[in-house]
Structures are given as C-alpha cells and as structure tokens.
C-alpha cells in the first residue's frame, strides 16, 4: 500500500490521491468538452426522426450554424466539467491522525476527537465513524477514502480500528413513528430528519446531519439505510478521567 503523507509532529494524512485529483480536474472537463462538441451532431441526427421529445429545442439546435455551435457546446461542456471538479474537490475529505487526536476535515469544517476517548473507529458503508466510551458517536463523515488506507493510518497511531463495520450493528432498530420506546421529542426530530432525507441537495444533507447531532444529545445514535433511519441508545459510560469528546468547527 502506498504510504500516506506525513504532517508536522508525525501525524498521518489520508486524502484523495493524485490519480483521483487528475481524474477530477482532467477527466471531468475533458468529457464535458467532448460531449458539448458532439451535441450538435446528436441534434442533427435526432431532428430527422419522425417524433422526438422536446422537438422544438432539438430543431432549433439543429438549425444553428455548425462550427460556432460546436465551439459553443465545447465551451459550455468544459465549464460544466470544471464546475463538477470544483464541487468534488470542495466535498473531498481529509483525515489527519496523530497519537493524541484525529481530525476529519471537509469544506473547511473539521471534527476532532482524542484517541484516549475513542472506543472504536470504522467505516459504516461510506461513512467514517468514531465512537466514544459510552458508544456515542464522536465523529462521522461520508468519504470515498478507502477503509484499507484509513485502517492503516488509525492503527499506526494506536486507535481501535474495527474491521467489518459498526460493532454495535445488531443493536439498531428501525425508527417507526409513534413507537412507545422513544420520547415525543425524539420522534419529532426523527420525523424532521426523515423529511430532510427525502430531499436532495447539500442543504438537506446538512439538515439531516444537524438533526443527527440533536438526537445524539438525547443519547441516541442514528444510522441510515437509504431513506430509512435506524437507532440505538448509548450505553452507560464508566468513569472516565477526561471530559469532552469531539470538537466540530
């Protein structure tokens, strides 16, 4: 396995590799440019069909001058590819692990948690999760970074990495509105979160994460399967000399 980058103080940094960055900043714009340039040819062919959806826009595009339309399509495709690359770069996750603490950073926001307070670290699907001594969630973030790279970094610095996902997976129950084993306030938060999960976009995702944090204050840990929510309660925490767990900025 390719060694990870090192940060000052001996910390290990796990981030998107060079190949992924080349794909984003080279591949996306290239594909966009080619598709944009070919759009005129596609419109010319489709315009000859006896019936097509959106016939008006297709006929209009087919009637435009050939060379300027191809150049314009290529420019628009290039811009779209660059926009996708910028979104991908902004949403990429960087994980920095040291002997004392680890930090998960995305879009200039970071969540830090101390090794001494960590009872487990694992990938739950695409989500990197760290649990505290009461099995509460100290940190959680969706990332495409491989479990193998993350496991190597955390184990190198003495964190309890768990292969195979959440060690408490068997304790989760599916949220059902009105179930008697949850309080009215918890049901309200779950219902609001269900509405956020049903929507698309970064704002809805941020709302879902904020509501996850609110449920954590009720000692509930939440995981998602598609649009369905599953929950479990944290366990009673044994005496711990250190207060606090994770810091989010």
pLDDT digits over 54-91, tens only? 777 767 777 777 778 878 888 888 888 777 766 665 66
Tokens standing for residue 144: 């495409």
Question: Residue 25 domain-assigned?
Answer: yes
Q: Point out the domain boundary residue: 39, 69, 91.
A: 91
Q: Is the pLDDT of residue 104 over 80?
A: yes
Top pLDDT among 130 and 26 is at 130
Residue 244: pLDDT band with limits 50, 70, 90: very low
The C-alpha atoms of residue 184 and residue 14 are separated, in whole angstroms, by 41
Burial class (CB in 10 A: 0-12, 13-18, 19+), 65: exposed
Give the pLDDT of residue 2.
Answer: 53
Mean pLDDT is lowest, of 18-22, 153-157, 181-185, for 18-22
Q: Point out the domain boundary residue: 37, 59, 91.
A: 91
Cα–chain-centroid distance for residue 243?
28
Domain assignment of residue 69, given as a range: 18-91
Give the pLDDT of residue 33.
Answer: 85
Q: In sequence order, what are the residues at sequence separation of 6 or more whose Cβ sits closer than 8 angstroms to the Cβ of residue 154?
A: 97, 102, 121, 161
How many domains are contained in the chain?
2
Q: Is the pLDDT of residue 52 over 60?
A: yes
Question: Residue 249 domain-assigned?
Answer: no
Q: What is the mean pLDDT of residues 197-205?
A: 89
Give the pLDDT of residue 202.
Answer: 81
Question: Residue 209 domain-assigned?
Answer: yes
Question: Residue 70 domain-assigned?
Answer: yes
Residue 18: pLDDT band with limits 50, 70, 90: low
Q: Is the pLDDT of residue 152 over 60?
A: yes
Give the pLDDT of residue 131.
Answer: 97
Q: Is the pLDDT of residue 154 over 80?
A: yes
Give the single-character DSSP code of 161.
Answer: B
Question: Residue 201 domain-assigned?
Answer: yes
Q: Does the CA dihedral 208-211-217-220 come out positive or negative?
A: negative
Q: Burial code of 41-57, b = ≥16 C-beta within 10 A, e = fewer?
A: eebeebeeeeeeeeeee
Q: Is the pLDDT of residue 48 over 80?
A: no
Q: What is the mean pLDDT of residues 105-131?
A: 93
Give the pLDDT of residue 249.
Answer: 41
3-class SS of residue 249: coil
Q: What is the mean pLDDT of residues 201-227?
A: 93
Q: Is the pLDDT of residue 224 over 70?
A: yes
Assess contact for 123 and 166: CB atoms under 8 A. Answer: no
Top pLDDT among 162 and 87 is at 162
Q: Point out the domain boundary residue: 91, 108, 129.
A: 91
Give the pLDDT of residue 243.
Answer: 44
Question: Residue 6 domain-assigned?
Answer: no
Question: Residue 223 domain-assigned?
Answer: yes
Question: Residue 120 domain-assigned?
Answer: no
Residue with tokens 């009637």: 63
Give the pLDDT of residue 237.
Answer: 57
Residue 100: pLDDT band with limits 50, 70, 90: very high
Residue 37: pLDDT band with limits 50, 70, 90: confident
């Amino acid at each position: 396995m390719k060694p990870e980058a090192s940060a000052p103080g001996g910390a290990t940094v796990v981030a998107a590799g060079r190949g992924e960055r080349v794909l984003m900043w080279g591949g996306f714009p290239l594909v966009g440019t080619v598709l944009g340039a070919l759009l005129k040819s596609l419109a010319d062919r489709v315009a000859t069909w006896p019936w097509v959806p959106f016939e008006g826009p297709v006929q209009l595009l087919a009637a435009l001058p050939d060379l300027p339309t191809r150049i314009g399509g290529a420019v628009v495709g290039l811009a779209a590819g660059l926009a996708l690359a910028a979104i991908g770069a902004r949403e990429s996750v960087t994980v920095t692990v040291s002997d004392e603490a680890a930090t998960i950073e995305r879009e200039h926001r970071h969540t830090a948690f101390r090794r001494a307070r960590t009872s487990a670290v694992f990938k739950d699907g695409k989500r990197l999760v760290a649990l505290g001594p009461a099995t509460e969630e100290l940190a959680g973030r969706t990332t495409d970074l491989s479990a193998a790279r993350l496991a190597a970094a955390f184990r190198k610095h003495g964190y309890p990495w768990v292969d195979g996902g959440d060690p408490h997976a068997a304790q989760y129950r599916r949220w059902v509105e009105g179930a008697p084993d949850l309080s009215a306030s918890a049901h309200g938060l779950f219902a609001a979160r269900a509405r956020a999960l049903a929507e698309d976009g970064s704002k809805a995702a941020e709302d879902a994460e904020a509501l996850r944090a609110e449920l954590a204050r009720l000692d509930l840990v939440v995981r998602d399967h598609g649009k369905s929510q599953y929950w479990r309660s944290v366990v009673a925490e044994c005496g711990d000399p250190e207060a606090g767990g994770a810091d989010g900025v």
